[in-house]
Every structure is written in structure tokens, then in C-alpha cells.
């Protein structure tokens, strides 16, 4: 930052932690530490104190890792429920449009156990959909990097649908454009609204169950 760093000591950092606790009722997580002007960069803590977990422990906090134990358990529970709801909602939407027969859920697409959330049959071209509710840019990144590997064998049209209000299509476009590991041509990250737009232009097969 040009200026000499303001001599961050463990005590000063503890003051910052306690201030955050007073405001939010818990310790800041690593990404949050970066956003606070009364705390140093997480990198600084990593370099000078051997990492966040270690420093929290040395400062006497009981909870030193928010990705473990009861914290992990709460997250897993929350994610499972909301993820399931998101999938159910989208499934309903897709079946309304294309009909029960033409919407496959959890379809295996290669010779491993990789599955797309949804696979749609349409005269306008078949397509795959993976849906998730990720709310932060950081999670979007880690999530996408895992998904891109998983879907490297999926060669048809593929949509990664971000189902929440945290991102606009503009945000997602920006992310896709500046991403280092580029998305394959057949794939795109889109919002629910964009998906609805795409679907509205697609043709559907007649229902074979009706006489």
C-alpha cells in the first residue's frame, strides 16, 4: 500500500477480532478479514502467524476452524435442504415446459458416475443443466473449478444455473470473461431468469402419453 505496514501484532489483531465479535457475534472468516479495514490481510496472518487457525488458537479463542465440527455440520444441513429445494423447483419448471418424459433427472452422461442434474430432450437441441445456489463469488469460483473437471466429458449444450439473487447475468458474464481456465464452448453460466429466457425460445416434443 505504499505506506509502511502499521505494525500488526497479535494483540492488535485480537482487538480487531473482538470488535468483529461485538458487531456480529462471531469471529470473522478468512474472506471477511480481507474486507475489514481494522484487520490486516489474511495473507499477512498466514505469513507471520502460521495461519488463521493457529492464530485463533494462540489468542485463546475456542473456535479455531469454521470448516469443522458443529460448523461443518450446520453448513451441510443447510446446503442439503436449500440445494434440494432449488432442484425440485427447477424440475417442476422444466417438466411443465417439456413434459415429464423429456426431462431426465440425475442422468449419467459418461462411463463414470458423473451425472447432470437435468437432461432435456427438445427438437431445438438437447441440453444439460447443473443448478446450484452458491451466493458468494469465492464459492462460485471453487465450485466452478470442480464442476468444469466433472463436466469435461459432457459435450452437448450445458448450462450452469446459479439460482439466487446474489448475481446478475452481468456479474456472471464478467466472471466468465476474466476466468483464467476458460469455459468450454458448449457451456455457459446463467441466472434462472436467463434460463427461462432460453427455454421460452425452445420447441417441445408432443406428449406421447396423450392419445
Partner DNA sequence: CACATTCAGCACTGCGATGC
Partner DNA sequence: GCATCGCAGTGCTGAATGTG
The residues of the shown chain that bind DNA, judged by CB under 7 A, are 1-2, 5, 29-31, 34, 40-44, 46-47, 51-54, 65-69, 72-73, 75-77, 79-80, 83, 112-115, 130, 132-136, 138-139, 141-147, 150, 178-181
Burial class (CB in 10 A: 0-12, 13-18, 19+), 1: exposed
Closer CB to DNA, residue 15 or residue 205? Answer: 15
Closer CB to DNA, residue 68 or residue 92? Answer: 68
State the minimum distance, in angstroms, from the CB of residue 210 to DNA.
Answer: 34
State the minimum distance, in angstroms, from the CB of residue 211 to DNA.
Answer: 38
Closer CB to DNA, residue 101 or residue 146? Answer: 146
State the minimum distance, in angstroms, from the CB of residue 104 to DNA.
Answer: 15
Closer CB to DNA, residue 107 or residue 202? Answer: 107
Judge whether 160 and 190 are in contact, CB under 8 Å: yes
State the minimum distance, in angstroms, from the CB of residue 124 to DNA.
Answer: 26
Closer CB to DNA, residue 30 or residue 204? Answer: 30
Closer CB to DNA, residue 127 or residue 129? Answer: 129
State the minimum distance, in angstroms, from the CB of residue 9 to DNA.
Answer: 13
State the minimum distance, in angstroms, from the CB of residue 128 to DNA.
Answer: 12
Backbone φ and ψ of 78, nearest 5°? -60, -50
Q: How far is CA 75 from CA 67, 115, 122, in A?
A: 9, 23, 37
Amino acid at each position: 500500500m505504499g505506506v509502511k505496514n502499521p505494525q500488526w501484532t497479535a494483540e492488535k489483531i485480537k482487538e480487531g477480532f473482538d470488535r468483529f465479535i461485538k458487531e456480529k457475534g462471531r469471529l470473522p472468516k478468512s474472506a471477511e478479514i480481507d474486507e475489514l479495514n481494522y484487520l490486516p490481510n489474511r495473507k499477512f496472518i498466514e505469513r507471520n502467524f502460521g495461519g488463521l487457525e493457529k492464530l485463533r488458537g494462540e489468542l485463546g479463542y475456542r473456535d479455531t476452524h469454521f470448516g469443522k465440527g458443529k460448523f461443518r455440520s450446520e453448513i451441510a444441513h443447510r446446503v442439503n435442504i436449500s440445494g434440494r429445494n432449488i432442484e425440485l423447483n427447477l424440475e417442476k419448471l422444466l417438466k411443465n415446459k417439456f413434459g415429464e418424459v423429456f426431462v431426465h433427472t440425475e442422468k449419467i452422461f459418461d462411463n463414470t458416475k458423473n451425472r447432470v442434474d437435468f437432461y432435456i430432450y427438445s427438437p431445438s437441441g438437447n441440453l444439460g443443466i447443473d443448478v446450484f445456489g452458491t451466493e458468494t463469488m469465492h464459492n462460485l469460483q471453487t465450485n466452478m473449478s470442480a464442476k468444469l473437471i466433472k463436466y469435461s466429458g459432457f459435450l452437448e449444450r450445458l448450462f450452469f444455473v446459479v439460482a439466487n439473487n446474489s448475481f446478475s447475468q452481468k456479474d456472471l458474464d464478467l466472471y466468465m470473461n476474466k476466468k483464467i481456465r476458460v469455459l468450454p464452448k458448449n457451456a455457459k453460466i446463467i441466472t434462472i431468469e436467463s434460463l427461462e429466457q432460453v427455454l421460452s425460445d425452445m420447441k417441445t416434443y408432443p406428449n406421447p402419453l396423450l392419445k
